[in-house]
Structure 1
Amino acid sequence: MRSSSKLSALAVSKMTKPGVYADGNGLYLQVAAGGSKSWLFRFMRDGKARKMGLGPVHTVTLAMARDKALECRRTLMAGSDPIDTRQAADQERRLAELKGMTFKTAAEKYIAANKAGWKNAKHSAQWTATLDTYVFPICGDLDVAAVDVGLVLKVLEPIWTAKPETASRVRGRIESVLDWATVRRHRHGQNPARWKGHLDHLLPARNKVAKVKHHAALPYADLGAFVAELRQAEGVGARALEFAILTAGRTGEVVG
């Protein structure tokens, strides 16, 4: 019969020579060439020798390692491979973590990951504002994997004709968040917010509903008289407007 409990806590702490040292019942202390120490559980499965790491000595004590080895032996007695059982548990835990992400959390993570590449803070603020106003009240607290075409339309239809520019941006932002979630494996399948070949069959094109309204403009023939009158006016505002007319400068350039 194999002896057990050959090692002691003191012996483990003093062990420095590289090698593998048996404690008994499948538990081994492994000392690496660099001096690091860890625990191994060795066993036979389907005629093949296998070994399973149980953790480093600085974290797992001898008593803890023996408890872990006991659990492994019980798993083997139940007909299962302890390595496969641990891997299955890890995968199940990861899947549970993935399934718990709401659309709002996914959107926040998408913004955090991409805002450094956006032109300015205003763009990030616009993203947050439109999602807060139009999207989160409908699907913010739902699992991101549960967002489907019905929910997307519930967000877009009330504003698609009334606010076409805003609605178009909201659609694109939903699509981006869902694409991010798909790549990060929080959902799968086609994106329900995609436009081409999908929503373009359910909603009218933006140029069909958006009424183009140009800014009021002074007729070119009246410009000379207007500038002459403007030059009679005092103040920085008048000079700035004249500068803008003469240079076609942008507002920010003129103010600067």
Structure 2
Amino acid sequence: MPKKARELSALEVKRSSRELGFHAVGGVAGLHLAVTSDSAASWILRVVIGENRADLGLGSYPEIGLAQARDRAREAREQIRGGIDPRQAKKAAALALRAATARALTFEAAAKACHIAKVSEFRNSKHKDDWINSLDRYAFPDLGSVPVAEIDLPHLVKVLGPIWTSKTETATRVRQRIESVLAWATVNKFRTGDNPARWKGNLEHALPKPAKVRKVAHHPALLWQEVGGFMADLRKREGMGARALEFAILTAARSGEVRGATWDEIDLKAKLWTIPAGRMKAGKQHRIPLSEPALKLLKALPRFDGSPYVFAAARGGMLSDMSLSAVTRRMGLDVVPHGFRSSFKDWCRTSTAYPDEVSELALAHVNSDATRAAYARDELLPQRQRLMTDWAKYCTTVPRTAAQVVVPIRRAKSR
């Protein structure tokens, strides 16, 4: 019969914790203090489970005191006597705790965690904010407090249905973002099963196809025939907003690209403006050939000490997104800066012989096979240089009205 260990006191256990090795502490058969270094000790219960010997870990010392260790040892032995393996019981308890945590994790909490995990994917801070703000506005009111493990198709229909036909583009993006959140939750073991936000074979049977209900919103634009007269008036206006709008028209660039332009993107000698991928809508670097009027405008601009921006605001920061729109409003026109890209495209189609892919590349549209092929070659820079020169020349031409055309009297009589 094995020798029964003497029951040590708490003080004796403390002294034993300074000596390497296994120390039987008594009180419960098989209970030991395992000291593996000067600063590491843990409780081990040596038992027989079935026909196999096993060492059960009961926690570290001194976080778990002597009395608590003996209680845990007695509980483990009671489980073994009842036919329960304490190791399996511990795993089951851990799984139950994780399941309870999953049930407690709300969609809003999962969305914010997913947003943090995806932070490196966003091109800029605006896109990062738009991602979570769209969920905050459209998804959180109905889904925010719902456990992420319980979200199903009816939840998605409730969120997306009211905006699917009236704000189709926004609703499509919200759906995609909800799908990302639920995919994150599945990968991280907070939910199981199919993703109810998936479109193919799922939501496509509950909601109409976006292409069937999407309403294309056209930006108010000036007729291309009126651009020359508008530019003549614009050049008389003072202020950085007016110069930024003039430059945006000459380059056919988006207002955000112009407002964020920095001097290190401009190569005056090469007559080239290179916009990095991170500032482009399509996420691809875009090069814009600069015409002589565009270069002249840049060279005349004041430079602010310490500001990197080409079109800097009063204190050296970036112009606000309303600065360019304010110019057109003051001029009494119901158009937006983005609309001049449409004016440029209409002029290209109706008044030039340039292939369509040249103007598409000028606008940084890279959706078609033709434009992708062009990007693979040389971005058609020589052709685009001529196009932008012709466009700038057109922008400085004010078409004469019939009243301005003077016909000599003699020539009129001779007809």
**1:246 corresponds to:** 250
The 3-state SS of whatever aligns with 1:55 is: strand
Which of 102, 105, 111 is the matching residue for 1:101?
Answer: 105
Q: Which has the larger displacement, 236-245 or 148-157?
A: 236-245
**1:31 corresponds to:** 35
Which of 117, 133, 152 is the matching residue for 2:156?
Answer: 152
Quick one: percent identity of the two aligned structures?
45
Aligned length, in residue pairs: 255
Cα shift readout 1:6-37 (whole Å, capped 9, x = no counterpart): 43333322334432222231111212255632
Distance across 1 between alignment mates of 2:39 and 2:220:
80
Letter in 1 for 2:25: D
Map 1:119-138 → 2, pairs under 5 A: 119-138=123-142
Q: Which has the larger displacement, 104-113 or 147-156?
A: 104-113
Q: Which has the larger displacement, 111-120 or 37-46?
A: 111-120
* C-alpha distance 44-131 of structure 1, shift in aligned 2 (>3 A): same
Q: Does 1:55 align with 2:56?
A: no
Whether the 8 Å CA contact 1:20–1:29 is kept in 2: the answer is: yes
Gaps (5+ residues) in structure 2? 260-310, 313-415
Distance across 1 between alignment mates of 2:41 and 2:216:
73
* C-alpha distance 220-35 of structure 1, shift in aligned 2 (>3 A): closer
**What is the Cα deviation at residue 202 of structure 1?**
2.8
The 3-state SS of whatever aligns with 2:25 is: strand
Distance across 2 between alignment mates of 1:197 and 1:168:
16
Which of 194, 197, 221 is the matching residue for 2:198?
Answer: 194
**What is the Cα deviation at residue 116 of structure 1?**
4.6
Whether the 8 Å CA contact 1:131–1:170 is kept in 2: the answer is: yes
Higher relative CO (Cα under 8 Å, sequence separation at least 6) belongs to 2
Whether the 8 Å CA contact 2:248–2:254 is kept in 1: the answer is: yes
**1:14 corresponds to:** 15
Whether the 8 Å CA contact 2:102–2:148 is kept in 1: the answer is: no
Which of 75, 81, 87 is the matching residue for 2:79?
Answer: 75
The 3-state SS of whatever aligns with 1:44 is: strand
Letter in 1 for 2:176: G
Q: Does 1:234 align with 2:237?
A: yes
The 3-state SS of whatever aligns with 2:108 is: helix
**2:144 corresponds to:** 140
**What is the Cα deviation at residue 87 of structure 1?**
2.4
Distance across 2 between alignment mates of 1:28 and 1:189:
44
Letter in 2 for 1:22: A
**What is the Cα deviation at residue 75 of structure 1?**
1.9
Distance across 2 between alignment mates of 1:129 and 1:210:
22
Q: TM-score when scaled to structure 2?
A: 0.56
* C-alpha distance 220-8 of structure 1, shift in aligned 2 (>3 A): same
Distance across 1 between alignment mates of 2:136 and 2:245:
37
The 3-state SS of whatever aligns with 1:166 is: helix
Distance across 2 between alignment mates of 1:242 and 1:67:
81
Q: Which has the larger displacement, 1-10 or 133-142?
A: 1-10
* C-alpha distance 251-11 of structure 1, shift in aligned 2 (>3 A): same
Which of 105, 111, 116 is the matching residue for 1:112?
Answer: 116
The 3-state SS of whatever aligns with 1:53 is: strand
* C-alpha distance 152-243 of structure 1, shift in aligned 2 (>3 A): same
Runs (4+) of structure 1 moved beyond 6 Å?
none
Cα shift readout 1:200-227 (whole Å, capped 9, x = no counterpart): 2332222221122322333333333333
Whether the 8 Å CA contact 1:18–1:35 is kept in 2: the answer is: no
Q: TM-score when scaled to structure 1?
A: 0.88
Q: Which has the larger displacement, 27-36 or 136-145?
A: 27-36
Gaps (5+ residues) in structure 1? none
Indicate the structure (1 or 2) with the bigger Cα radius of gyration: 2
Distance across 1 between alignment mates of 2:251 and 2:120:
33
Distance across 1 between alignment mates of 2:181 and 2:6:
55
Distance across 2 between alignment mates of 1:202 and 1:172:
15
* C-alpha distance 122-222 of structure 1, shift in aligned 2 (>3 A): closer
* C-alpha distance 207-20 of structure 1, shift in aligned 2 (>3 A): same
The 3-state SS of whatever aligns with 2:201 is: coil
Letter in 2 for 1:129: N
Distance across 2 between alignment mates of 1:65 and 1:144:
38
Q: Which has the larger displacement, 205-214 or 116-125?
A: 116-125
